[in-house]
Structure 1
Amino acid sequence: MYEDTYPGKRFQKTLEFLSKHVKAPSQVLDLGIQNPFSEIMRKEGYKVTNTTGEDLDEKFDIVKQDFKVVTAFEIFEHLLNPYTILKNIKADKLVATVPLKLWFAEAYRSKTDMRDRHYHEFEDWQFDWLLEKSGWEIKARANWTNPVNKVGIRPILRRFTPRYYAVYAERK
């Protein structure tokens, strides 16, 4: 449905994973400002509340509100301390995706936008450990590639190397 547009494959895979584990019309707190994927969730029947751009390393009271589900799609890599927010989430369910560390590419960094910096690019086992230490039990996992339409060695490797890691977890 979304695969024929950029970043359609990521959106389609994320939606498939989310809808497999959390049924609409669930009330969802989506960490991060309103974005194209939060609009997709709304169109699919989810009741979505987004954060408003506050620094979640500093102000994480919103995760203590009464939501059944928290989603975090490519958010935790932007936090200096994702443990604190994961530990303080009040919801019983978490669906999160993170970009995986690629052995053939440097970590992403923006030199101009302070909010668009990756402090972490995880390996799947590292993210699993972080979730487990912060009180979550992983119930399901998935990963997928992110091919690009360019020529070169790295674009070829991107066709075979998983880039995104998705986790569905429940509070222990």
Structure 2
Amino acid sequence: MYENSFPNKRYKHTLEFLQKHVPESQSILDLGVENPFTKIMKDHGYSVENTQGEDLDIDTSTIQKSKADVVTAFEIFEHLLSPFTVLKSIQSNKLVASVPLKLWFSPAYRNKTDMLDRHFHEFEDWQFDWLLEKAGWKIIDRQKWTNPTRKLGVRPILRFFTPRYYIVYAEKM
């Protein structure tokens, strides 16, 4: 079903991590609009509700009102100016979140045609851990994985060895 290519490799790792920590019986609020991974979660038996595209830096009302058992945030926090505010507004006691890691050999992602598709943050793992802890979360489990490309060059070779994605399962302290 999933091959070793982007985004399939990322989806495979993310789903395996989610299944390890979240039973299908628990409801999920997924931060961000419905996307291909929302369908994957639903296809695997999860009840998933998404935020509706509101600017989460300004409007956290959907998060605050949610009665979901778990909040997921897959590659969302790097797009926010203030992920701390969003993390503090979560009512659920469980969080599964992933972020792309900062790569020393590659600049932060910036889409030149879509003003919303830019990274304000690309975290190092310790920075994301610190953000979660400061916002009142205790990390229970974490995992990293690489994202190699099929291109030639120094950077593509480095991507074989350097983790690009970081995922955590955390609970409120």
TM-score range normalised by the length of the shorter chain: over 0.9
1:9 pairs with 2:42: no
Partner letter of residue 135 of structure 2? Answer: S
Please list the CA deviations of residues 12-71 of structure 1 after superposition, one character each: whole Å capped at 9, or x if unmatched. Answer: 000011110111132100001111101000000000001111100011111112111000
Structure 2 unpaired stretches of 5+:
none
Q: Indicate how the Cα distance of structure 1 residues 138 and 43 shifts in structure 2: closer, same or farther if over 3 A, else same.
A: same
Structure 1 residue 4, shift from structure 2 partner: 4.6
Structure 1 residue 2, shift from structure 2 partner: 1.3
Aligned residue for 1:97, secondary structure, equals strand
Q: Is the 8 A contact 2:67 2:91 kept in 1?
A: yes
Q: Between Structure 1 and Structure 2, how many residues are aligned?
A: 172
Q: Is the 8 A contact 1:68 1:91 kept in 2?
A: yes
Q: Is the 8 A contact 2:6 2:147 kept in 1?
A: no
User: Which 4+ runs in 1 deviate beyond 6 A?
Assistant: none
CA distance in 1, matches of 2:4, 2:10: 11
Partner letter of residue 39 of structure 1? Answer: K
CA distance in 1, matches of 2:5, 2:126: 30
CA distance in 2, matches of 1:136, 1:6: 29
CA distance in 1, matches of 2:81, 2:6: 28
- Identical-residue share of aligned pairs (%): 64
Q: Which residue of 1 aligns with 2:24?
A: 24
Cα RMSD (Å): 0.9
Structure 1 unpaired stretches of 5+:
none
Q: Which residue of 1 aligns with 2:112?
A: 111
CA distance in 1, matches of 2:100, 2:151: 20
Structure 1 residue 6, shift from structure 2 partner: 3.4
Q: Which residue of 1 aligns with 2:93?
A: 92
Q: Is the 8 A contact 2:67 2:92 kept in 1?
A: yes
TM-score between the two structures when normalised by the length of structure 1: 0.97
TM-score between the two structures when normalised by the length of structure 2: 0.97
